[in-house]
Chains A and B, each alone.
Chain A
Amino acid sequence: MAILTVEILANARNACEKLGAVDYDKPQINAAFQAVEDLLTSNATKNQINSTIDTATAPKTLSAAQKREIVKAVVLKLADRWT
């Protein structure tokens, strides 16, 4: 588990602020960011994403680096679609 720095948290909070009215306070949103970071970087989540991609691309198997790029692209480009 990587502890998010004050600077990273500030950037994340400012990004959140741009999306609309802020109806949470700083300790709450910091804890939420840390929790999501921990979830997304946990071995269990990584393994699940890994096997999901393997299933989708079978019988071909993508490299770990390719999978990382795909996950980053999903977060960066598709997150706005999530509800």
Chain B
Amino acid sequence: MATHRIPILGPATLPDASGDVFFEPVTIKATNDFFKGLVLVFNDSGNDDECFGRFHVPQNYVGSANLVVVWTTTAITGDVEWGFAYRAVGGNDTESLDQATAQESLLSGNNDTAPSAVNERMEYVISLTDGNFAAGDDVQFIFSREGADGGDTLAAAVRVYGLYFEYSDA
């Protein structure tokens, strides 16, 4: 049994309309301007800000489903609170891809403390319910920073470098 991680940010990723979630060049908030590229930024807006997307559950999926957030910030104190809601849709001509509710909403208690030094790589894991996923499903999700929650005390924008679906095979 091996553990795998697949990136789930991609062409289908859509920030909400708040203006506080967006892709931005690394160089705007980083200082060395050596490695460039885009990162997903969640401002410190004081509101719940969301990003939408979808991914495909690999054919060798068996269980141990997790969401892995790789992030950093210029803050060195306070907590960021992450949220994740999703619905897995499977089959052929059986389930609607236009769903109105989430299958599981993990919108509170997912707090990760600020890095001990500016811009250090942070990794936070949110446990998902294994039985909600099956090989071949398409998963639609809402990934959010729960800025309105009292648990989000980090007074700065956070930058998401990667979002991964982690699972184990047989």
Partner-binding segment picked from A2-10, A36-44, A57-65, A72-80: A2-10
Contact B46 A17 (CB under 8 A): no
Chain A residues positioned under 8 Å from B47 (CB to CB): 6, 10
Instruction: Provide the residues of chain B in CB contact with A28, threshold 8 Å.
Output: 155
Which residues from B are CB-within-8-Å of A29?
A: 155
Within the assembled complex, what's the spacing in Å between the Cα atoms of A26 and B111?
14
Q: Is the CB of A26 within 8 A of B118?
A: no
A interface, size bucket = 10 to 19
Nearest residue (CB) in A for B113 is A25
A-facing mask of B38-70, CB < 8 A → 1, else 0? 000001111100000000000000000000000
Kindly provide the distance from the CB of A7 to the nearest chain B CB, expressed in whole angstroms.
7
Q: Is the interface of A mostly helix, strand, loop or mixed?
A: helix
A13 in contact with B118 (CB, 8 Å): no
Minimum C-beta distance from B22 to chain A (A): 14
Q: Which of B112-170 touch A at CB < 8 Å?
A: 118, 152-157
Tell me whether A26 and B76 are in contact in the complex, defined as CB-CB below 8 angstroms, given that A13-B155, A16-B155, A21-B118 are known contacts.
no
> Is A25's CB under 8 angstroms from B78's CB?
yes
Question: Contact between B76 and A14 (Cβ–Cβ < 8 Å)?
Answer: no
> Across the interface, which residues of B come within 8 angstroms of A25, CB to CB?
75, 77-79, 153-155
Residues of A within 8 A of B75 (CB): 17, 21-23, 25
How far apart sit A26 and B118, CA to CA, in the bound complex (Å)?
A: 17
Q: A11: shortest Cβ distance to chain B, in Å?
A: 9
Closest 9 CB pairs of A and B: A25-B78, A22-B75, A25-B153, A22-B156, A10-B46, A6-B46, A26-B155, A17-B156, A26-B153
Taking A9-B46, A17-B75, A24-B77 as known contacts, 5 extra A-B pairs with beta carbons closer than 8 A to each other, sorted by chain A number, are A13-B44, A21-B118, A24-B78, A26-B78, A29-B155
Q: List 6 A-B contacts (CB under 8 A).
A: A17-B75, A22-B74, A22-B154, A25-B155, A26-B153, A27-B153
